[in-house]
Amino acid sequence: MADAFDNILGQPKVREFLRASVVSERVTQAYLFVGPAGSNKTTAAYALAQALLCPKGPTGPRGGSCGACDRCGRIARRKHPDVRYFAPAGANGYLVEQVREIVADTSLAPIQAEKKIYILDRVDLLGASAANAFLKTLEEPEDDVVMILLGRTRESVLPTILSRCQVVPFRHIPASEAAGIVSQNTGAAADQARQAIEACGGSITAAVAFLTAPANERLAFRSRLLGDLSRLSAADDWDVVEMARDWVEASKAPLDAVRASQEAELAENADFLAKSAIRQIEARNKRQLSAKTSEYLRQTTAIVRSWLRDGMMVAAGTPELVINTDVAERLTELFAGADAGRIAGAISRAEACDRALAYNVSPETCVDALLFDVREVLNGSGRTD
């Protein structure tokens, strides 16, 4: 029978390790998941949280991950108040004040479950000062707390953090295997699976969600962006500014459904929750909305990068390597004879835009600057013919 760990796509050794740890009740209080972007570390963290908090316990059906109870469902939807996700709040990583707030939060009792799970993303961006504020909590957490830290490589994480955690390595998933996994889980063709993975920054789990979004909303968003990019060379300055504004607004549109779901859930539970618990849920909901906003904006820049990368393939005379095959003809019209170096520069600026968006820089400012850069390449200053 399936359990929460089956959702950790492309990581069979991780699945078996975590499953065995839960069933045998050999779970530690601090884990460090290390692996490249797109290797499903976040999905694994939530799967472990589901297994640990399931009321049927580790000896119950499916090793404590029934997947059918209310608690399992809330965790799977990332809406359980006792599973807390954090990402760096500063331009260069975690802020000392942010870490102190997390530390203070660990001393509070769980709201609904018997334990609290803390998921801290990108701990490779946890500097020495912030780490010092965190070490005692990591070394001697409360009995009802489990810490799951996520980082890119062992070497990028401070030794003081590394030495206090059970390290779980995640492998790089080859592109062809990743596309096959997405196709298997969505029924999408291989080309469409690859395009979704590109749009989601390499994440298999996000690509599955991208392809299965209600009313094909994410696919329609991608088509809109690619259509706008194909017309960018003929756009004047005001067109570019309006295009950036429209993209940012479109990336926020799906949040209305998320917000409505949060409000309904809070209203349902408000009668039996203490005011302090309600405040914690409201804070969690705010974090969730912020994370979803960032996810959709990252998809925007990822789609631009993927399109530019395909343009570079055309410019280099290797159109067979184009990933966005549904717009291959237009890519050939736009980029045949273009300067690949200039396109590479635009890709670098798209990556810089992505980093800036993560630190609360104005999305419209970032996106319109990026679109002006792309238009410059399309309009001949980057052409060699």
Note the pLDDT tens digit of each residue in 326-364: 999 999 999 998 999 999 999 999 999 988 887 767 889
63-72, 134-143, 268-277, 321-330: range with highest mean pLDDT: 321-330
Which letter does DSSP use for residue 109 in this model? Answer: P
Strand order across the 116-120 sheet: 83-86, 116-120, 145-151, 30-34, 166-169
C-alpha count within 13 angstroms, C-beta hemisphere, residue 247: 32
On the question of pLDDT at 138 being above 70, the answer is: yes
Question: Distance between CA 334 and CA 314 in Å, rounded?
Answer: 9
Question: In whole angstroms, how far apart are CA 186 and each of 62, 190, 204, 300, 324?
Answer: 24, 10, 11, 22, 18
Q: What local confidence, expressed as pLDDT, does residue 294 receive?
A: 78
On the question of pLDDT at 71 being above 60, the answer is: yes
Helices and strands (H and E) in the chain: how many: 16, 5
The H-assigned helical ranges of 85-203 are: 96-106, 128-139, 159-162, 175-186, 190-199
Confidence grade of residue 78 (pLDDT, cut at 50, 70, 90): confident
Which letter does DSSP use for residue 93 in this model? Answer: B
Element spanning 266, H or E: helix 255-269
Q: What local confidence, expressed as pLDDT, does residue 382 receive?
A: 42
Task: Name the residue with higher pLDDT: 167 or 140.
Answer: 167
Q: What local confidence, expressed as pLDDT, does residue 65 receive?
A: 52
Q: Give the chain's mean pLDDT.
A: 87
Token pair for 251:
């990336």
Residues 238-270 pLDDT 10s: 999 999 999 998 887 666 666 666 666 666 666
Write b or e for each residue in 119-141: b if 16 or more Cβ atoms lie within 10 A of its Cβ, otherwise e. Answer: bbbbbbbbbeebbebbbebbeeb
Q: What local confidence, expressed as pLDDT, does residue 7 receive?
A: 84
The SS3 of residue 163 is coil
The SS3 of residue 152 is coil
Residue 273: exposed, middle, or buried by beta-carbon count in 10 A (0-12, 13-18, 19+)?
A: middle
117 forms bridges with which residues in the sheet? 83, 146
